[in-house]
Structure 1
Amino acid sequence: MKHTFLALAISLACGSALAAAAADNTAFIAARQQFAAASGGDASARDAAIEAFEKLSAGQPGNPVYLAYQGAGIAMRGRDAMMPWDKMKYAEKGADMVQKAVTLLAPEHDSLLVDGAPASILTRMVAANTLLALPDFMHRRADGKRALQGALESQVLAQAPAPLRASVFAAAARVASEEKRNADEIGYLRQAVATQAGTPQVAKAAARLKELGQ
């Protein structure tokens, strides 16, 4: 009888954990959709995304993905602000948050999956995209490049979903293009296309290769 109760308790605990994980994943997907809309300039979606990721981060303070997205949303608030001092305030706050998220990364985040993607790579890519988009006078480019390089060198990159791998290679190609490293740009573009992710980034990579005569 004791073993039966123990087995039941374990089963209920596992069921609760799985239900909580499923709920978090659903909330993450919804928040990321809001974030994507915010990236296109939707201010209401931006604020909704920030609030959603703040709640997710409060529920799982050790999950760097949620903190990174929250910081990226706040940096967007700086992008959209009217006053120069507000632009700087929000951009700096958001940048600090995404950099903090990167510092929280540990080996276990390679195996922690968020919507099927390694948390380590997701965190680094949110950080890279945020920091590399900031003006040069904010001196965040080097940190953005480090985050991107960490994603490129990750041992779990090959296991990441194709759209995420494509975004890593596309970002690396953009940096190489900005730095006039033509051979590197072509190499990363080819890797992006090879993912066959079927995303706009892959289509743009293919078009850019054609533009470069490849």
Structure 2
Amino acid sequence: MIQIIAKKLRVVLVSTLLLVPSFVQASEIEAIINLYNQAASGDEAKVETVYQQLENLIEAEGPQPLTMVYLGGTETLKGRDAWMPWNKMKYVEQGLAKIDKGLDMLDANPLSLADQRVISGIHEYYLAQAISASTFTLLPDMFNYFERGYDIYLSLLEQPEFAKEPFAATAWIYGFAVQAAIRAEDMPQARNWLAQMQQQDANHPQTLKAIDLVNQG
């Protein structure tokens, strides 16, 4: 059973980050995110490097919501790559706790959009929420994080300012939200998010994929 869960975790963690679009790296955190995406795509040799770089960045600038979320995500990658089943579970659980801490910091330290950096094409707080939601909703049920992740999607995608972010940067977020809605058996919401995707770019690959998912759902 644990081996099956571990295999699912590997698929989840790879698929989540593969859909984050690549943009010109304009800051240290974006360079780290680029490495993180490579690590999530299967380059195990980069996992420890990314983890150390994030720890160094946090030590230099203090904990920030986005860096804490990515630090937690990197620890879940350690779980993906660990040999022993109990280490897989330990790292994933520790990583989830760090993501939770990042989200708690976000809630406790709100910033206007004007005061946020634009990372990977969108404002950093939106990115922190999106990465958290996608990780939570794709985990096996035993971790009991699906509802928390789905609630993040429901809140995030309802924000008028989020809808103004470039769709090229947010299409993957809508795509994962549709997938989560289908898993939640909330087809009206899945169709609603799909309609928003079609309105913004009916021919985007993520929109076409979402159409297939809704038709199958």
TM-score (norm 1): 0.76
Match of 2:16 in 1: none
Which structure has more RCO (C-alpha within 8 Å, separation ≥ 6)? Answer: 2
Q: Does 1:48 align with 2:49?
A: yes
The runs of at least 4 consecutive aligned structure 1 residues that moved more than 6 Å come to: none
Q: Tell me, what secondary structure is at the counterpart of 1:95?
A: helix
- Structure 1 residue 207: Cα displacement: 4.5
The one of 194, 197, 201 aligned to 2:199: 194
Match of 1:168 in 2: 173
| Structure 1: 5+ residue stretches without partners | 1-23
- Structure 1 residue 78: Cα displacement: 1.0
2: CA distance between counterparts of 1:50 and 1:199? 33
Match of 1:30 in 2: 31
Q: Could you report, residue by residue, the CA deviation over 1:148-198 in whole angstroms, capped at 9, with x for unpaired residues?
A: 233223343023232343233212201111123223222212323433398
CA contact 1:193–1:206 (8 Å) conserved in 2: no
- Structure 1 residue 140: Cα displacement: 1.6
- Structure 1 residue 117: Cα displacement: 2.2
Match of 2:85 in 1: 84
Aligned residues: 189
Q: Does 1:151 align with 2:162?
A: no
Moved more, 148-157 or 97-106: 148-157
Q: Does 1:117 align with 2:122?
A: yes
| Structure 2: 5+ residue stretches without partners | 1-24
CA RMSD of aligned residues (A): 2.6
TM-score (norm 2): 0.75
Does the C-alpha gap of structure 1 residues 55 and 194 become closer, same or farther in structure 2, counting only changes over 3 Å?
farther
Does the C-alpha gap of structure 1 residues 125 and 155 become closer, same or farther in structure 2, counting only changes over 3 Å?
same
Structure with larger Rg: 1
CA contact 2:76–2:92 (8 Å) conserved in 1: yes
CA contact 2:181–2:187 (8 Å) conserved in 1: yes
Q: Could you report, residue by residue, the CA deviation over 1:48-79 in whole angstroms, capped at 9, with x for unpaired residues?
A: 22222222222222421111111111112112
